[in-house]
Amino acid sequence: MDYFMELFLGGLTRGSIYALIALGYTMVYGIIELINFAHGEIYMIGAFTALITISVLTMLGLNKIAILLIAAVAAIIYSSAYGYTAEKVAYKPLRSAPRLSPLISAIGVSLFLQNYVLLAQTSDFLPFPNLIPQFKFLKAYGGIVQSSEIVIYVTTAIVLVILTFLIKFTKLGKAMRATAQDRDMAMLVGVNVDRVISFTFVVGSATAALGGVLIASHIGQINFYIGFIAGIKAFVAAVLGGIGSMPGAVLGSLVLGWTESFFTGYISSDYEDVFAFLFLVLILIFRPSGILGRTDTDKV
Amino acid sequence: MTALNEIKKSLLVSIWFMFLTFPIMVIKVNTVEQTISWRWNRLAAVGIGSFCLSFVWRYMLKRKETGAKKTALGNGGELSAVQRLLQNPRFFKPALLATAVFALIYPFYFSMYQVNIMTTALIYVILGLGLNIVVGLAGLLDLGYVAFYAVGAYSYALLHIHFGLGFWACLPIGAGLAMMFGIVLGFPVLRLRGDYLAIVTLGFGEIIRLILENWNAFSYGPSGIANIPRPGLFGMHLTIHQSLIYIYFIMVAIVVFTIFVVRRLQDSRIGRAWIALREDEVACQATGIDKTKTKLSAFALGATWAGMGGVVFAAKTTFINPASFTIWESVMILCIVVLGGMGSILGVILGALILMLLPEYMRAFSEYRMLLFAAALVVMMVFRPNGIISAVRRNYEFKGTNEKETA
């Protein structure tokens, strides 16, 4: 039973991180119908920025929790800035181009950011210090759940609440929903569509950065390539839940996290990534609209 | 005043990029020794570089806008200088002849190393032409194309080990197997919309690579398969040098064959169906074209060429392992097609030669190869989505008697 609990909580951890990344995919897709291939790299940039900030601040000798908070803020700021810039440079000029063009452009951005970090930093795995304090009340359950996992669950839940509030109740959220429904119509009623799209990229990148910092301190190492596989898996999660739907993204992430965790725990860990891809292929073939998605019809 | 404004804009851009690249470019942390090195000179380089590039970027954007306006006014549709030159038979025929002669004497005048590089480039030419059918003509973004390349390479290697089959027997078998894979994989996924298709094909490509890596009993795992024989010539014994030249000529023949087939396909009924499908799926179906069949044929034919390329690749390097078939190989081939010009045969050939040969001759830049390709991918999409040499849309004219309408 303990083993089951361990896998269950491990799956919840994975799922939470996937959710933080998948939210960005789903929001961007909802608004401009673009699979933002570079999203995984934004997450990786967040983790790298955090690592650099942590290293610099550790040498200055600050308090551990303060360092962690400052690093998280730095990661969020920089990831958002990268997301914003990528949108301005690579996607905005292609708003009216055929659908394939922004997709290829996004692949270009993804490849560019990977190689940029590879060249400017290193290709090795870098150790990422775990600054999350050990909670005392967890001592009894030490073998099953770690305090970094608790932090991941809580943070993800808080982010979800904030995002839901943002989209449901603020003016900007209303503008986002309007743009997602019909961009031209939103423009006609006075929504600044460009600003809304930029804002979406910024919010998506910020949540991804948070995911990057949390998972990096949980796993303990990063390199320039972590964004690719995490990005693909988060995309699988977003599709599973129904791309364009935020509750769907979270649900899909949790389902993917748990299935992956149980699959590797009970069956085989060699084929972990194969399994995620197979899952994606099966969903897309049998239920392309996802669990909570709606089916659209193409218009001429 | 405007000049001042432009400078101000560029200055803002350069400050923004200096801010953006600050932590990753400037600070380098050594986590083991707990030391930090600050590389301030890089910051200056980024600042100056982005300042200059932002001028170019805005100029290009403006030019593109005026170009778009021109087309809207009806002045567009003109052929570029290159295309006009190519359509002129007085230039085209001698150029073709010169290329043919050059291809024939190339291996005898250049070193073995260069023949080897050229053979690799030619393999990428057929991979590019194969992917061009899928992406350029039919408009299906296939990011798992390398899987079919792997199928070709592994089918030669494994058939040789288990059944002792030679290169010439394996070339059609490899191509056929890749085609079958194309059909089997394509059948379920081709109902999906463009961007989903890209992700699913990417997934398939990775699945195939991961299986090759993990299934030791079948594929010999990550260590790969060595000692694959080079192709034989009527049982003669060839030295390494001779067999390299031989492979080079095989590749030239395959390229010529590919160009012939692709040209024929392009103008055939199925080729026009592909282009129609690319332009508008719904309208295309309304004219009575079977969507699934058309997509599937593009997918299968594209895969066939990847399979052939794989067999030649295995024969040329005599060693294959899963590391040769990563997703970035697919992206590389996609780069060739996009940079060269989607749908244009000459463009794809040029794209392959440029992308494969340039890094070999500019070793200084080889480190930045992928970075530059990635940037080129974005820049091409933004400013010149049709590639270096864009495909010429064939005009079909009605040559019957229609004087009444024109009068």
Q: Is residue B404 part of a domain?
A: no
Give A270 to chain B, closest Cα distance, Å: 7
B146: nearest Cα among B7, B265, B309, B259: B309
Say if CB B392 and CB B347 are below 8 A apart: no
pLDDT at B98: 86
Please list the alpha-helical segments (H only) found in B79-111. Answer: 81-87, 89-109
Say if CB A74 and CB A144 are below 8 A apart: no
- Say if B61 is an interface residue toward chain A (CB within 8 Å): yes
pLDDT at B335: 86
Give B370 to chain A, closest Cα distance, Å: 7
Q: Is residue B401 part of a domain?
A: no
Q: Is residue B333 part of a domain?
A: yes
Give B312 to chain A, closest Cα distance, Å: 28
CB B377 to CB A120 under 8 A?
A: no
Question: Contacts of residue B50 in chain A, CB cutoff 8 Å?
Answer: none
CA distance B151 to B181: 8
Q: Which residues of chain A have pLDDT under 50?
A: 299-300
Among the partner-chain residues B188, B199, B282, the one whose CB lies closest to the CB of A235 is B199
Q: Do B51 and B121 belong to one domain?
A: no
Q: Is residue B80 part of a domain?
A: no
B296: nearest Cα among B142, B127, B183: B183
Q: Do B40 and B159 belong to one domain?
A: no
Structure-block tokens of residue A227:
């964004």
Q: Do B195 and B343 belong to one domain?
A: yes
Best mutation target, B369, B381, B390, to test chain A (most A CBs within 10 A): B381
Q: Do B9 and B43 belong to one domain?
A: yes
Q: Do B15 and B91 belong to one domain?
A: no
Question: What pTM value is reported for the model?
Answer: 0.86
Q: B233 pairs with which residues across the strands?
A: B236
Q: What angle do CA A134, A139, A141 make, to 5 degrees?
A: 115
Q: Do B158 and B247 belong to one domain?
A: yes
Range of the domain at B185: 86-383
Nearest CA in chain B to A114: B371
Q: Do B102 and B207 belong to one domain?
A: yes
Say if CB B141 and CB B135 are below 8 A apart: yes
Q: Is residue B182 part of a domain?
A: yes
Question: Contacts of residue A100 in chain B, CB cutoff 8 Å?
Answer: 135, 139, 141, 194
Q: Is residue B52 part of a domain?
A: yes
Q: Do B14 and B131 belong to one domain?
A: no
Total number of domains constituting chain B: 2
Q: Do B32 and B126 belong to one domain?
A: no
Q: Do B253 and B216 belong to one domain?
A: yes
CA distance A176 to A196: 6
Q: What is the mean pLDDT of each run of 10 residues along chain B (407 residues)?
A: 82 86 81 77 85 86 78 55 71 83 82 86 92 88 90 90 82 91 82 75 85 82 79 71 85 91 88 87 86 88 92 88 86 87 86 83 75 86 79 69 51
A242: nearest Cα among A282, A279, A281, A295: A295
Q: Do B294 and B163 belong to one domain?
A: yes
Using DSSP, state whether B220 is helix, strand or coil: coil
Q: Do B55 and B198 belong to one domain?
A: no
Q: Is residue B390 part of a domain?
A: no
Best mutation target, A107, A109, A278, A289, to test chain B (most B CBs within 10 A): A107
pLDDT at B407: 42
Question: Contacts of residue A109 in chain B, CB cutoff 8 Å?
Answer: 374, 378
Question: Contacts of residue A52 in chain B, CB cutoff 8 Å?
Answer: 23-24, 27, 29
Which sequence spans correspond to the domains of chain A?
Answer: 2-224
Q: Among residues B36, B70, B104, which one ends one of the domains? A: B70
* Long-range contacts (CB closer than 8 Å, 24 or more residues apart) made by B260-265: B262/B129, B262/B132, B262/B133, B262/B345, B263/B345, B265/B133, B265/B301
pLDDT at A10: 86
B137: nearest Cα among B4, B236, B271: B271
Distances (CA, A) of B85 to A272, B7, B81, B88: 54, 39, 6, 5
CA distance B302 to B311: 15
CA B338 centroid distance within chain: 7
Say if CB B199 and CB B297 are below 8 A apart: no
